[in-house]
Amino acid sequence: NELKCKDRTVKIYDVAGSAYTHTATLQGHEGPVWEVSWAHPKFGVVLASCSFDGSVLIHRESRPHDWTLLHAARNLHESSVNGVSFAPHEFGLIAAAASSDGRVSFLTHREDDSWGVEYVRDNALGVNSVSWSPYVVSSTATADEGDGDGGSSPTPPCLRLVTGGCDNRIRVYAKSPVTGQWEMETTPIDTSSHSHSDWVRDVAWAPAVVPGIDVIASCSEDRTVLVWTQKAGEGEEGEPGPWQPTLLNTFEEPVWKLSWSVTGNILAVSSGDSTVTLWKAGLDGTWSQVDTVDDVGGGGAAGTGAQPGAPAEGQ
């Protein structure tokens, strides 16, 4: 487990049941740390952190409780880095970072142990969060000429990512398998029935549950959580259909963080009243609250009082 801190450090804890044991403190940032992300265990125990100082630091636990700095991407952005997230491990060791300078950066570990950097310009007001699409191999039906037998061939998955911005919007990007460049997807995001009216603070792409259906949740300072659904084959010429929103709930306070269960059917929502609520969709598509978890320590995003993108103390 980990704790992001306003004292410019990251604290590591071992968790056993309800007991927390502090095992390490990671230093190196020159501003408050906004978010951390664990890499897949296939890469070892690797943790990325992002900060108000415009940097992303990647640490590795070389042996129990002994951490080393694997990569320091200092001055990665011109202003605060508000979110960081590792891609699905099948694509390699890749981290995306969202910044107040309006860009998203992609850090890719290479075979020679160097790191490549790519950027995407998202919006001029700033980006608060990023979330990766799960690694999914889909099958496309084909018919062999000559015998007419139907078959299926796997469609190689591509890197996809959703961003949440200070312009109240979400955007979806994909890395083109043809050009190798990051491009914003042209599939419409339908905002005719629901949309955010304030900063989007977090986005969370759900684990793949039903083949051909993608689900993204977004939360905002406008106190709402929206769940966006895209279905394969509903667009023109068999392309994916538009992203359609469903209002999960309007809360009493701004909503800061979201997290899906590993099964993709429960969404945890952290809001400004220092509570975490759990939500589940019914068979009719409507969402209902199934539980509440108090933020006892007050140390989560809802309890700190400081949020990414906002002025930090002493800065």
Report pLDDT digits (tens) over 147-174.
Answer: 445 455 567 789 999 999 999 999 999 9
List the structure tokens of 302. 């809802």
Compute the distance between CA of residue 228 and CA of residue 220 in angstroms, rounded to an integer: 14
pLDDT of residue 142: 39
186 token code pair? 């042209």
Give the span between the Cα atoms of 116 and 118, in whole angstroms.
Answer: 7
Nearest of 299, 273, 272 to residue 33 by alpha carbon:
299
Instruction: Give backbone dihedrals phi and psi of 129, rounded to 5 degrees, phi first.
Output: -155, 155
Sequence-distant (6+) residues with CB within 8 A of 180 are none
Q: CA 180: distance to chain centroid?
A: 21
Closest C-alpha to 212, from 231, 192, 187: 231
- Indicate if the pLDDT at residue 270 is higher than 60: yes
What's the pLDDT tens digit per position in 201-249?
999 999 998 889 999 999 999 999 999 999 987 766 678 899 999 999 9
pLDDT tier for residue 18 given thresholds of 50, 70 and 90: confident
3-class DSSP assignment, residue 195: coil
Determine the average pLDDT of the residues in 84-109: 98
Contacts of 83 (CB under 8 A, 6+ apart): 34, 35, 50, 97, 98, 127, 128, 129, 130, 202, 308
CA–centroid distance for 154 within its chain: 26
Cα torsion through 196, 200, 201, 204, rounded to 10: 90
* Average pLDDT value for residue range 94-120: 97
How far apart CA 23 and CA 256 sit, in angstroms, is 28
Give the chain's count of helices (H) and strands (E): 1, 25
Q: Residue 169 in contact with residue 123, Cβ under 8 Å? A: yes
pLDDT at residue 294 in the model: 66
The overall pTM is greater than 0.85: yes
Token couple for 163? 């961003």
* Mean pLDDT score, 89-96: 97
CA–CA dist 230, 214 (Å, integer): 5
